[in-house]
Chain A
């Protein structure tokens, strides 16, 4: 039974989204936020922003004295259609919660032409503690191969896909910011935040001829001692090294851009960090994106990904044979956005989660989070409208003052296996429909 809760913990880890807005990069490059970000605000990258990231965050305006420090604050409000059965976190109510969701400080910038990166320290009101958040530190070496521009790079990071330059992998797909106080579907995938901040990864990558991107590396768990120093609660441990790989084709045509790719992660987990059999997760994803940029007055994007996760839960099965040894979780994400004048944005997203039934992982009669049908199948949509008044070339306070105001609505047509009475206690999928508003500052 202990392993069941470990698995739940792992699954729920996948619900958090990294939120990044790093104006010190704008100060370093002399660019406005809109050059790198769709809608003038992170994290959705333009082709220019993708190249800046693949270039190791090292590009600069050539001037000295830039201070590589940024800060970020997110204040949010969450309303669900029906009150939750229990408080979603200590000090919060069963509904209508205002939350100082994140206060972050970044060290973000270049060291020299070959070294750059960011690291984030975050305090959040739901967690009520300060922890080491995401980091991505890079070494890059630009060169010419067969007369074509080529970048070789190495990334040290603590969350698989956080180093990815595209807007489609779990670390960076829409929604870029969401509630941490609303119910979310039970099933997550290992590559989608299951290892976030618990691991150290080293990946080597290359961008050849500005088109071909390939990356290969591996992740190992931090020691308990190191996690304690970073104020992170130790979760399960990777047995050995988890290989991560990524290939993509990218074409930036200035007026538009597209990418297609494949990626994957294979992880053997020791539940509870105890020696013995492992739970094996193999994730393989396919993704694609298109951006119409035009004159930057009307910008439209389409992003999509499909990830298949295969599970062989030998460790969990050994401790609780009620858990199915073999299983799957699949997730489809599609989103499209339109931004006007780099200021006003509308985004619509669709998600569909499917997987095998399991009476232990998706248990009946657990209020709000259980499944009467023992199924993880969930489906829904997210709509967002946002206003980003700053972050352009001639904006007030640029490049220091940045703000985004957003209203987001997430609707569920199926939740943990059913539309009606999904938890066996009378809760419907639509009862979890969530209205989420946020105001996001960065400087």
Chain B
């Protein structure tokens, strides 16, 4: 029965009939279309749905709409006055506090409610007060800065201009190298930016999945009759109704079916799908589907899974459940160890972590009457979705349009085609209506594709002076039920170790093993963070063994420019040494190392990553990124059409800046259309840290194409030969006499009248023939590599084992930072996420394979209250393969963190934790075991 309520929202009065079970969040979003308030965890754990009710911030997901009867509500939509942003919104835009933007409305509303009653909170108060709003992108640093700035704005003060020294490589540039606000941030700050779940199409249906309740079972029968009879149910699909095609991520291992065919392999495997008039009806229908299972023995531990007689996930492949096996040997490992003065070997164990983008995956599919389907989706990879859908549906790509909406973060969770993308299309086809499907938070975890847990045996040999002579690594990756990115992950786990330190003798043995758990995939730093954690830990242990400083041993072996690694990866620019020197200096390493009181520790960790994979996921000769620029006919503005995806990291902004610089126009004269398969040329998307370098090169080339044409036109207008002209800052001028110029827009305008549309084309492919010729040589190749170092300082409670991270001093070689503010944002986000993964994140399963913490209540991620101070530096560097010298930072910045934290904790407690996460319990056990050893001596 519906009840009538009266409610005031942003000063508007509503009288509404609502169902009892509807929350205030549902009411705002679904009934009133006030979609600025975001749905992220739905259980009060993340704060994304924060609104102000009667002056108090509340999680609208935990307030029944009926309980808001008679109340006054403020939402993000009510803050700006027309064009004018609220001072808090303005500060968030200017300070770079917005990345994916999905947490932003909630954070801003919480901030407003706080500053309304306490205009002058201290930083510590802010960290405590904002802890109910989780953010996965920013590392909170810029959010806190923005709130402090907002405090000033609210008092009518204007900020002082920020003194900022550009990098050497950006001194002569006009747009690139500047700290500019993100192009999409005003929309995100006001709640206007549309994410897929914010969209509703006329007559839209909703879809939901029936998930397997068993980790391993044969499906004996599925009965859907009862569910079909439920009013509102429009269609039900089971395995019997869909084609047998196998799909997945890596072509070498397509092993997923559209719906489970005869067998389920993990709790969460997709058994059936329902389309109905609303989600509630879907859920009710799911309960009426009767599935008879024959339970099979399951296996959850990869080492158990490899044993003879262990339950097999696939009868026809992956013998002993070994999904991928890598056997690499470079140089001569025996000779290398024979030359070593000191050898140490250790086992390290990683953790099973999940990306947890704040926005849950969502897709909406709609077929037109000409046999063409449009898919709106929250993806990182429009092109791969497009390609895979064409394969699965067996229709040409021309009949599929994939549109990426705003995306609320990915970190790898959205880097491949998902089951909701496929199924929404199939259900839309069957019903004739648009279908929306989305995951809730639990379904996100169960669908999986998070970080592989790795079991690593690492052995390093060094000479007395610290020179590394040999490295041997064996890694077992816990793969979960299907392949996903796993083949590549297994190669990455080995191939990136030789990129940071120079060594010639290297053996890597990698095994990815299937288990009856959600599939593992690609998560920020893809395959590399656990091996890097192991390497950085062991290197510091060895330094202690031979009496060498931890930074010195790294400097001794540090990668250098123009170097070919033992596994045939070509390093061009490399300022790793500068990074090490920088963090040594600013952390006050010399004074602190070895001199801190018990419980206080300092540690170093290093890392780096590819700037885009050298080869695509499936074999093709396509350029990896492509761009088209169209100049408005009056010359006033450029529109950049680019296939790459802005998932919050800021690629629309960075690529626009590269295009502006190349064209010679200012940043206010460009807009961006990205990631729409009908409108934009192919870009492989946002994965493997490829967009800045690859999309940047494509955008730059398209910009240069435009520039050449406007200069030719200007040459005719000015009567000066084209080679004497240049374009910069909206002028086309005589290089010898800059006073002689015409406005850029005038030349562009005249161009259209004289020659028709002014468009520019650009594309980028990595250099041909990257990498060696051995099997798997493609993984790890890249046009460029990033380098990072970080020093971490911790305070450990020696009685409880609790680690409080105080500081990170990090330095990054990302080439030229196209937008230093965004680079800092990436680095701060990477550092906090890395810290969170190292200290608290872990997926836990019970003995039946059921995940016990598939939410944001029991799967912990760091809050503002946990944030350390992050002191980031970008070192001078120039990458010849990058646009204006740029390369990546987003993943490379994650890699040093795990080892740095582990080393700092070891320094603090005088013992080491070899397994992630480094929980208080493990820390305390390590402290206790040392105490016991000492007593025994």
B and A form one assembly: no
